[in-house]
């Protein structure tokens, strides 16, 4: 049985869970060529059960790198904080990662998280070698491969003559009269090949794959490979013989309105997420041929016009299907109890 079109939707069951966030998870110290020797940064810790903030958050014992020390304040409250500093007399020369043990006490729940705070260092780089300079204008006009003059420069400097588009590289340092420049090329390209053009109208019609003349095309001087779109039908045509309307030939190339395209889409009447394993939704199959929506029998899944039948699969059609699947119907009711965390449903038009 042929599969003519398909769509898929994923339903998710969201359950309240504990989470811990840091107001800042990383910091970069700025230092000299050897690294950073001073500075500090801070982060706050917050914990949530679902969307509710927890009020008893404790920071455990933190192991600090040799170059870093820290201070914890507010442990046991809703938002403790930690300040990290570079130790006096120490140099931070490389990145470090600090693990922060966090304990949440919420009623009878005691949950432990380990969060990570990243520390990096930005070092001042050594002074680089002076770069080469670019000059431009019409001062250097020579065409010899070596020995051209007219512009002061240092070895390796570049020059572009903006009139001739010749490129030069300085080979001998000097003034405008003593510097020697080698011609290294020209950046002006040749004339490019003209691209094809698009025309629109209603003068070229039909679906013949044999090239023909259309005197009413309205294209004065068509070129081979030019394209034409009939704005009424959506048909496109390609020019195979250039010329005036009385001589140019065009051939049918295709259609962009997708008049015969079949599309299946799935609509969920109550979104695609449940909360705490409660709720339900109905998945509705919608079938289109071009821009025309077709009727789907909600009980049998049969689509008008002999297009076929809608079938629902739990997961992918290649998966082992549970009892009741695949199911032929236009609609499918999904209960929260049908979804274990996350579940995909596939809808196929078969026939």
Are 340 and 278 within one domain? yes
What pLDDT is recorded for position 183? Answer: 94
Instruction: Give the pLDDT confidence score for residue 14 in this predicted structure.
Output: 64
The percent of the chain in helix, strand and coil, each rounded to the nearest 5, is 0, 50, 45
pLDDT tops 60 at residue 259: no
Strand partners, 278: 275
Q: Say how far apart CA 147 and CA 167 lie, in whole Å.
A: 13
Same domain, 63 and 111: yes
Residue 192 lies in a domain: no
Instruction: Assess if residue 129 is contained within a domain.
Output: no
The more confident residue out of 340 and 347 is: 347
Higher pLDDT, 188 or 146: 146
User: Per-residue confidence at 16, pLDDT binned at 50, 70, 90?
Assistant: low
Question: 51 and 92: one domain?
Answer: yes
**Residue 270 shares a structural domain with residue 329:** yes
Q: What is the mean pLDDT of the chain?
A: 89
Residue 154 domain-assigned (yes or no): yes
Residue-range definition of the domain harbouring residue 338: 262-350
Asked if residue 228 and residue 269 are part of one domain, the reply reads no
pLDDT band at 277 (very low <50, low <70, confident <90, very high): confident
- How large is the average pLDDT for residues 220-236? 89
Which percentage of the chain shows pLDDT scores above 90?
A: 64
> Quick one: tokens of 225?
């490979």
* Residues 42 and 113 occupy one common structural domain: yes
Q: How many domains does the chain have?
A: 4
For residue 191, tell me if it sits in a domain. no
The answer, yes or no, to whether residue 108 has pLDDT greater than 80, is yes
- Name residue, tokens 């729940």: 109
**What is the mean predicted confidence (pLDDT) over 303-310?**
91
Q: What is the mean pLDDT of residues 64-89?
A: 95
pLDDT exceeds cutoff 60 at 64:
yes
Please report, for the domain that includes residue 73, its CATH number. Answer: 2.60.40.3450
Query: Given a cut of 90, is residue 127 above it in pLDDT?
Result: no
**Cis before residue 192, ω within 30 degrees of 0?**
no
Spell 124-153 as b/e; 16+ CB within 10 A means b: eeeeeeeeeeebeeebbebeeeeebbbbbb
Residues 330 and 238 in one domain: no
Residue 185 CA: distances (Å) to CA of 152, 234, 290: 19, 49, 56
User: 270 with 346, same domain?
Assistant: yes
Domain end, chosen from 122, 143, 166, is at: 122
Answer yes or no: is pLDDT of 346 > 90.
yes
Is residue 41, in this structure, part of any structural domain at all?
Answer: yes
Check pLDDT > 90 for residue 316.
no
Mean pLDDT lowest among 55-64, 187-196, 233-242, 269-278: 187-196
Q: Clarify whether residues 48 and 78 are in a common domain.
A: yes
Residues 266 and 325 occupy one common structural domain? yes
CA dihedral 269, 271, 272, 277 (to 10 degrees): -90
- Does a structural domain hold residue 4? no
Residue 127 included in any domain: no
Q: Are residues 182 and 212 in the same domain?
A: no
Is 13 contained in some domain?
Answer: no
146, 214: one domain: no
In this structure, of 99-108, 120-129, 133-142, the range with the lowest mean pLDDT score is 120-129
């Amino acid at each position: 049985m042929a599969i003519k079109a398909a769509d898929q939707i994923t339903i998710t069951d969201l359950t309240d869970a504990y989470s811990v966030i840091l107001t800042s998870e990383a910091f970069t110290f700025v230092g000299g060529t050897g690294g950073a020797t001073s500075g500090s940064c801070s982060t706050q810790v917050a914990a949530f059960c679902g969307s509710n903030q927890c009020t008893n958050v404790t920071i455990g014992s933190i192991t600090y790198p040799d170059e870093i020390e820290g201070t914890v304040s507010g442990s046991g409250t809703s938002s403790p904080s930690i300040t990290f500093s570079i130790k006096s007399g120490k140099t931070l020369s490389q990145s470090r990662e600090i693990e922060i043990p966090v304990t949440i006490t919420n009623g009878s729940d005691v949950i432990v998280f380990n969060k990570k705070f990243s520390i990096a260092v930005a070092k001042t780089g050594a002074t680089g070698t002076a770069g080469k300079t670019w000059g431009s204008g019409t001062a250097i006009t020579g065409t010899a491969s070596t020995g051209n003059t007219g512009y002061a420069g240092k070895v390796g400097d570049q020059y572009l003559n903006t009139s001739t588009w010749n490129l030069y590289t300085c080979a001998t340092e000097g003034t405008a009269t003593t510097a020697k420049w080698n011609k290294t090329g020209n950046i002006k390209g040749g004339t490019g090949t003209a691209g094809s053009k698009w025309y629109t109208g209603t003068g070229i019609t039909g679906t013949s794959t044999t090239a023909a003349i259309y005197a009413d095309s309205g294209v004065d001087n068509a070129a081979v490979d030019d394209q034409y779109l009939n704005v009424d039908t959506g048909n496109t045509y390609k020019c195979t013989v250039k010329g005036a309307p009385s001589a140019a030939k065009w051939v049918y190339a295709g259609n962009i309105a997708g008049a015969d395209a079949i599309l299946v889409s799935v609509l969920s009447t109550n979104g695609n997420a449940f909360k705490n394993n409660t709720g339900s939704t109905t998945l509705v199959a919608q079938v289109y041929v071009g821009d025309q929506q077709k009727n789907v029998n909600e009980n049998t899944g049969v689509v008008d016009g002999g297009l076929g039948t809608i079938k629902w699969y739990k997961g992918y059609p290649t998966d082992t299907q549970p009892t009741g699947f695949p199911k032929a119907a236009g609609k499918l009711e999904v209960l929260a109890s049908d979804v274990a965390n996350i579940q995909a449903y596939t809808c196929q038009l078969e026939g």
